[in-house]
Amino acid sequence: MVNRHPWVYSGAVKKMPQAENGQIVQIVTNNNELLGYGFFSPNSQITCRVFEFCDTPKEINETYWHTKIDLAMQLRKQVIDAKTTTMFRLIHAEGDFFPGLIVDVYNQVAVLQILTKGVELISEYVFNALNALGFNNLYIKTKQNTQLLEGVEQGSRWIGQPAPMPLVALENGVKFNINVETGQKTGFFIDQRDNRYAVGSFSNNCNVLNTFCYSGGFSLYALQNNAKEVHSVDSSKDAIELCNQNVALSGFNNHTSFVADCFDFLKEAPANFYDIIILDPPAFAKNARSVDNASRGYKNLNLLGIKKVKPGGLIFTFSCSQHIDKDLFRKIVFSAAADAKRNVQVLQQLSQPKDHPINIYHPEGEYLKGLLLKVY
């Protein structure tokens, strides 16, 4: 608490409040000094999620929530070029001092992930604040495990006027079809924006393999930057369909997509053909218990990538598992490189973009890590 970490574990609480799930509670010390305000979650190990640290009482009213959202918007105006990028994360939960809420925006559409009862109880204020910022179409997308634990209302739904889907949004000037209703996550993996840009900057005249491509984010940047040939692979037919639509939207014909398991695809891929390989799998470690298995998965994947890339080629490798930190990830990639018996340089540590800020007191928020490797 004194370290301003936003999570209060049940074991750390001496006296529980007489409060309902989701209610806003005060956090006080043994000496009755105020520490702040948070959402009460009696059914979670994290009993309270703190959204405000303060030592004098504060009114937590509609204006309070509006101000929080306005501050988040101001940061995005600072870090996003609105002329070329019309989709970004507006609220990154703890990263924006707003535990329990994620908001991604696509043009005028805001997609909300309400992860706790506490946020659900103040959601009217959030809707009003988003409307006031010009987000006219609000869509709530529910996640299954939060409903069970937190009693959050089930079922994805529009609040007010639905927006026609798909819409076309821009990222660094690249066009993407987005369907917030049927797409994975809130519709697009916004968190890879900067890393896609980096891929683009190396793609000229390259053969590029984009594994776990989903809607083809990395592929489009490679194509846009004059790649020779781009291959996209995903095990989901729907994902490949989206990827093909996005390639068609920009009119490229030097692209081939494959519905396949990426491990199998890499095993059978020719060696020395790809100049750039992107490895961006889903989170293999969903919880702390699965870290060992996940580590093996990451190692096998990286081993295959490092074996197959052309000498002098590049690998962009990622993990979005919160439970695998950047040191462990580097060790995993190290052991893959050693098994492949190739010389490998780390050119850059990769992370999440500025619209996914990390609350310095909440290191768990740094979930996306990656490495740019050069392989000889």
Strands (E), 194-289: 207-211, 229-234, 255-259, 276-279
**Closer of 140 and 239 to ligand SAH (Cβ):** 239
**Closest approach of ligand SAH to the CB of residue 231, in Å:** 13
Comparing CB distances to ligand SAH, the nearer of 135 and 189 is 189
Tell me: cis bond preceding 166? Omega within 30 of 0 counts.
yes
Q: What are phi and psi of 234, to 5 degrees?
A: -155, 150
Q: Number of H helices and number of E strands within the chain?
A: 10, 18
The distance of closest approach from Cβ of residue 208 to ligand SAH in the complex, given in angstroms and rounded to an integer, is 13
In the bound state with ligand SAH, the residue whose beta carbon lies nearer, of 47 and 257, is 257
Using CB under 6 A as the binding rule, the residues of this chain from 117 to 136 that contact ligand SAH are none
Q: Interaction with ligand SAH in 190-249: which residues (CB under 6 A)?
A: 192, 212-215, 217-218, 234-236, 239
Instruction: Report, in Å, the least distance between residue 133 CB and ligand SAH.
Output: 26
Selected range binding ligand SAH among 63-71, 124-132, 274-282, 354-362, rule: CB under 6 A: 274-282
Rounded alpha-carbon distances, angstroms, from residue 97 to 67, 85, 151, 322: 12, 24, 22, 18
**Counting contacts by CB under 6 A, is residue 274 touching ligand SAH?**
no
Rounded CA separation 285/50 (Å): 26
Per CB under 6 A, the list member of 101, 105, 262, 276 interacting with ligand SAH is 262
Rounded CA separation 152/116 (Å):
6
Shortest Å distance, C-beta 206 to ligand SAH:
18
Check if the beta carbon of residue 26 is closer than 8 Å to that of residue 52.
no
d(CA 1, CA 37): 11
Size of the site for ligand SAH (CB under 6 A): 18
| Strand ranges, E, within 83-147 | 87-92, 101-106, 109-114, 137-140
Instruction: Give me the 150-189 binding string for ligand SAH, x by CB under 6 A, dash otherwise.
Output: ---------------------------------------x
Strand partners, 208: 230, 276
- Shortest gap between Cβ of 75 and ligand SAH (angstroms)? 23
Q: DSSP letters of 319-338?
A: E--TTS-HHHHHHHHHHHHH
Q: CB–CB of 27/38 below 8 Å? A: yes
Verify binding: residue 104, ligand SAH, rule CB under 6 A. Answer: no
Considering the complex, state which of residue 65 and residue 188 has its C-beta at the smaller distance from ligand SAH: 188
Segment interacting with ligand SAH (CB under 6 A) among 88-96, 120-128, 198-206, 280-288: 280-288
User: Which parts of this chain interact with ligand SAH (CB under 6 A)?
Assistant: 189, 192, 212-215, 217-218, 234-236, 239, 261-263, 280-282
